Amino acid sequence: MLTKDNVIKTISKFPDSFTLDELVDKLIFMDKVERGLYQSMNNKVYTHEEARKRLEKGFISLNLIRKPEELFLNTDLPTSEN
C-alpha cells in the first residue's frame, strides 16, 4: 500500500511541470513494486515452473497458443511415404 509520505517524496522529485499521465504512471509503478515486495517478504511467490504453467494455461485459454498435444494432430499433412 502506498503511504502519503512516499507519494509526497516522489512528487517532490518531479520537475516543476509534469503531466497527469506521468504522475499516474509513477504511482502505479510504486504500487506494483510495493505489492511485489510485500508478496516476496510474505512468501507469496511462484516458482519458475509454477509461473510457466500458469502463463501457459492463460495463453491457451485465450487461444494465443495451442495445447502441445494439438500441435501435430493434423493427419492431412504430407509424409515421406506420400
**pLDDT band for position 69 (50/70/90)?**
low
pLDDT one-digit tens code per residue, 4-63: 999 999 999 999 999 999 999 999 999 999 999 999 999 999 899 998 888 888 877 777
Domain boundaries in the chain?
Answer: 31-65
Cell of 81: 511415404
Task: Return the closest-CA partner of residue 36 out of 80, 63, 73, 1.
Answer: 1
Amino acid at 12: S
How far lies 64's CA from each of 4, 10, 55, in Å? Answer: 40, 38, 11
The answer to whether residue 72 scores a pLDDT higher than 60 is: no
User: Which pLDDT score is estimated for 54?
Assistant: 86
User: Which pLDDT score is estimated for 57?
Assistant: 84
3-state secondary structure 24-69: HHHHHHHHHHHHHHHHHHCCCCCCHHHHHHHHHHHHHHCCCCCCHH
